[in-house]
Structure 1
């Protein structure tokens, strides 16, 4: 386009500016030509020696150069941004930019014509997506809440052996049937800021009277499944098949690295910055779900609050839970015994320090329990910590747990291991490891993508919490120990459905109680042992 043509078109593009007389002296033809000749446009704002980043229009000028390439300078390499511009210079500059925009527009028109059919298909799909999104928005129950559910079917049975025939036959009669049970959990996760979490969990099931629901009538929890350990606790007076609140807590960040949790029904591990195990918590035997320390990680459930801190892999957690916080009487002579900080609060205080790297982690934990025994173990170890029958009431527990995972799936499994020790006291004094004590340990292995991609194979071995010394409680070393094993293989049928067959064995589930019965009967070997199998089907939605 010739110069005089540009000069004729530019005023129209500028909105037909109000006419102002201009003499030949007002028109700097050399300057106008600098803006009108596109071949001389600069490619970088750094080519102007008199334009600095501190200039108020620096960014605007840079955008014009980089996006459209329609700005020219003067022969001496300057822009002269503070010099007054004539209307002709303004018209030439605008026209140069319009030329570039026209080129881009023509190119877009050509591309649109070439891909006309494809664009029509995409438009139809976008219109369809918009309709579906509109339908979802109109029917969703909440814009801030997500629902996640887990439904589990368990078909299985226990068999019992041992040296005491009467005891063995009694358990075969009471818990030897093949049963079919279910467990359902619905998690409603709500966030108001994108960083906080309000969790509401509804749960129901019917494990209470099964062979997997609460263990033996003498009090052991060895045979309780990890998936229903809370089943007996939350049913209460409502019985089986009743939907109840299993979790209700609010979690939110405080400052840099701190997270606080408070809830009317929150569990100990909900308020820990890390869980020191990668062995699945819902496999078979309940004793393998506590990172090797069922006394320290007793998963007390109730009203509570906690705070954790994380930085550079390190973390520190502190929390308190009262299992009877909803009750009003601080005196254990009343049925509504409870409160916060009372002797019958069923309370725990937990402190954990840990470190989590990309594929391994380790944690040490201390837990003070009053009226809450180890979550799993022999009858003597569990009942003693619960203060039943005026036995030991206060328990001080320490645990050390760690895990390691291979960076790629193969024949090398992930390894989780843990050990715990507990000291029992009849009062609320400080830890007294010279008195009654118990221990526990476990090792869990898991192979991801075992045989078939997506499937998993696992096994664990360990000793449930067992009394190791009696102190003043008895005059001999108790024979309370026993071993536990489990093997399982998970078939991942679909992304949301898995089927897990498993077998398990408990060598001495009754501990010292069973040994006392064996001695009284004049027999050798464990009074009772337990072998069982099951098939668990899990649906996630």
Structure 2
């Protein structure tokens, strides 16, 4: 008998014979006599089509389901002429042979039907077989050519083309070719320095390795050429126009290791992260914002608190705990953690600190950043509060482009205590209602021992406080599914007060610092892997604009309007 027929017959035979084994101990001599008197007419009766046709079979019977399956699937169960099945009685060998023969006839009918179907769909089956063979061949080629069984590789390339324009009535003094001072419009000076249309790129390559299926070793290679453009961080007038995607390290077009860290679970609730080049946000259980999916200005990527979420990068470690929607994250990063010398000996054998030559872990020169975050984040909304402590004369300051020059400078000196509070909400369905993200940051800087001679000519500043905030809106599936639009407004970090004991502003404690930033963008989902994002932005005071470039109490204006088109390729 062929294998297919054997498989079909097996459950039928077992279904018929199993009751015999089960009730054999119940058979008595009188019962056997009654069975012997039953004629073969019982087998010749018409086969039943439903178990309900048996008057003596009940759902509580132990073999009810097996008998029902035999009737409905195979149609090879017969009863006695009086409509009974007599399931508790023994079956003669003749009756077993007759019922088994009926099942075999039914199996023959089934196989004939299958043969007809296979003949009818012969071409389609051949196509399917060919596709399966092709897939198996491709899988074999991929397995033979893959560089690692534990590592996946993905990448992202971003092109940015754009330009800045400047306005306002602020004046500055510059020296001409002969060394004589002359007064010019700051807008003209800025346009000459950073007003050209530029085309730049950012390239990222991610290598994600897992050894257990629950851990992650991430290696990120990166290259870019933004340093000389208006959208990088190294131009005098780039300031707040610095983009989140702008990158250059070690020179233009140089591929460097931008991330290298390992993350693994500890039990069911804890996750540990450690790395020689890990960033603060790599170790947070929750990122406290739903904005943006495609950012423009770098400031709007820090949840409204660029000092608390300073994204310090370096040697570090962190531990996070999550239970349902609650999470707590603790981490530490040293920006100079790879440097062995905590001090540098100067020419006069005095101990000095220099960010390029000294560092270590938890030293005054380590550029330390320690963060604690508590968050509650259900499915489509959340709130978070974070505290950051940055220490050392080379402390972890606000990233370039996230504050006024005065705020940037203060935050990089002494000790900074920062607090960030954030909240976000996203609608369950795409529509006219956008996601909403908001955040606020407060920073207190202790620089009582820092001397500003050479910068402010004389005197010192005992301390400073600064704040920042933002609101971001983002719409999903705008006009077409997959497209998105966004808008954000806020104030990048600005100094709100200081204890001034210097010649700045004639020793006054009054501070006229601050600026506003706006951005608007629309993202076209060209394909699953390509997006094009045109954007515009406006900065009310992109730089401090008095003679020293740090603070101003006058009413002169200086603003920055820019536009760009960003194209992102993911592979």
Q: 2:201 aligns with which of 167, 176, 182?
A: 182
Equivalences for residues 289-308 of structure 1 within 5 A: 289-308=301-320
Show CA shifts across 1:24-47 (max 9, x none). Answer: x99976899999999479969x95
Give the Cα–Cα distance (whole angstroms) in 2 for the partners of residues 227 and 50 of structure 1: 71
In the alignment, the residues of structure 2 paired with residue 30 and residue 192 of structure 1 have an alpha-carbon distance, to the nearest angstrom, of 72
Change (3 A) 1:150 1:92: same
SS of equivalent to 2:305: coil
Corresponding residue of 2:565: 535
The 5 Å alignment of 1:208-223 reads: 208-214=227-233, 216-217=235-236, 221-223=239-241
Q: Conserved in 2, the CA contact under 8 Å of 1:338 and 1:346?
A: yes
Determine which of 524, 529, 534 is the counterpart of 1:491: 524
Distance 1:247 1:116, change over 3 A: same
Paired position in structure 2 for 1:137: 143
Asked whether the 8 Å contact 1:328–1:336 carries over to 2, the reply is no
1:471 aligns with 2:504: no
Q: 3-state SS of the aligned residue for 1:155?
A: strand
Give the aligned partner of residue 465 of structure 2: 437
After superposition, the C-alpha distances for 1:299-322 in whole angstroms (9 at most, x for unaligned) are: 111122222222332222222211
Residues 68-107 of structure 1 mapped to structure 2, 5 A cutoff: 101-107=107-113
2:171 maps to what in 1? 164
Give the secondary structure class of the aligned counterpart of 2:193.
helix
- Between the aligned partners of 2:106 and 2:320, the Cα distance in structure 1 is 58
- Which whole-Å deviations, capped at 9, do the CAs of 1:267-326 have from their partners, x for residues lacking one? 111111221212226422111110111011111111222222223322222222111111
Counterparts in 2 of 1:41 and 1:158: CA distance versus 1, 3 Å: closer
Shift in CA distance, 51/207, structure 1 to aligned 2, threshold 3 Å = same
TM-score by length of 2: 0.75
Contact 2:244–2:295 (CA under 8 A) maintained in structure 1: yes
| TM-score, length of structure 1 as denominator length | 0.79
User: Once the 2 structures are TM-superposed, how far is the Cα of residue 399 of structure 1 from its aligned partner?
Assistant: 0.8
**Offset of residue 89 of structure 1:** 9.0
CA distance in 1, matches of 2:195, 2:117: 75
Q: Helix, strand or coil: the match of 1:423?
A: strand
CA RMSD, 1 decimal: 3.9
State how far apart, in whole Å, the 2-side matches of 1:482 and 1:344 are.
Answer: 31
**Matched residue of 1:470: which SS?**
strand
**How far apart, in 2, do the equivalents of 1:324 and 1:49 lie?**
76
Alpha-carbon distance in 2 for matches of 1:285, 1:265: 24
Q: 1:507 aligns with which of 540, 549, 559?
A: 540
CA distance in 1, matches of 2:134, 2:476: 40
Separation in 1 of the partners of 2:210 and 2:476?
32
Kindly state the Cα deviation for residue 174 of structure 1 after the two structures are TM-superposed.
Answer: 2.2
Aligned counterpart, 1:355 = 376
Please state whether the residue corresponding to 2:245 is helix, strand or coil: helix
**Secondary structure class of the residue paired with 2:542:** coil
1:283 matched to which residue of 2? 295
1:368, CA displacement in angstroms? 1.3
Partner residue in 2 for 1:206: 225
Q: 1:504 to 1:95 in 2, by over 3 A?
A: same
Among candidates 381, 406, 420, match of residue 380 of structure 1: 406
Equivalent position to 1:417, from 429, 438, 446: 438
Which residue is 1:5 aligned to?
none
How many Å apart are 1:59 and its aligned residue? 11
Unaligned runs of 5+ in 2: 1-8, 15-28, 174-185, 345-351, 450-461, 502-506
Q: Work out the CA distance in 2 between the residues paired with 1:303 and 1:65.
A: 71
Match of 2:421 in 1: 400
Pick aligned residue for 1:120 from 122, 126, 136 = 126
For 1:233-256, what per-residue CA distance to the aligned partner results, in whole angstroms no more than 9, with x for missing partners? xx1xx3111001111122222222
Question: What is the aligned counterpart of 2:514 among 477, 481, 487?
Answer: 481
Q: Deviations over 1:444-501 (max 9, x none)?
A: 1222233344332222111000111113566412111111111222222222222222
Q: Structure 1 residues 286-295 or 182-191, which shifts more?
A: 182-191
For the residues of structure 2 that align with 1:128 and 1:501, how far apart are their CA atoms? 42
Work out whether residues 315 and 355 of structure 1, in 8 Å CA contact, stay in contact via their aligned partners in 2.
yes
Which residue of 226, 229, 240 maps to 2:244?
A: 226
> 3-state SS of the aligned residue for 2:433?
coil
Relative to structure 1, is the Cα distance of residues 395 and 132 closer, same or farther in structure 2, using a 3 angstrom cutoff?
same
Q: Kindly tell me: are residues 193 and 386 of structure 1, through their superposed partners in 2, closer, same or farther at Cα, counting changes over 3 Å?
A: same
Question: Cα offset for 1:115?
Answer: 2.1
Whole-angstrom distance in 2 between the partners of 1:346 and 1:94:
85
Instruction: Compute the displacement of 1:49 (Å).
Output: 6.6
Shift of 1:521: 10
- Aligned residue for 1:123, secondary structure, equals helix
Q: CA deviation at 1:86?
A: 9.7
How far residue 227 of structure 1 moved from its aligned partner, in angstroms, is 0.8
1:338 counterpart = 2:367: no
After the TM superposition, which of the residue ranges 517-526 and 310-319 deviates more from structure 2? 517-526
1:443/1:67 CA distance change after superposition, 3 Å: same
CA contact (8 A) 1:42 1:71 kept: no
- State the alpha-carbon separation in 2 of the partners of residues 266 and 256 from structure 1: 23
Query: Once the 2 structures are TM-superposed, how far is the Cα of residue 505 of structure 1 from its aligned partner?
Result: 1.6
From 275, 284, 307, the equivalent of 1:272 is: 284
Looking at structure 1, the residues matched to 119 and 552 of structure 2 have their Cα atoms a distance apart, in angstroms, of 95
Q: Which range is displaced more, 87-96 or 312-321?
A: 87-96
Larger Rg: 2
Q: Deviations over 1:51-110 (max 9, x none)?
A: 59xxxxx99999989976879999897669xx9x99889878876765665454333223
Name the SS for the 2:241 alignment partner.
coil
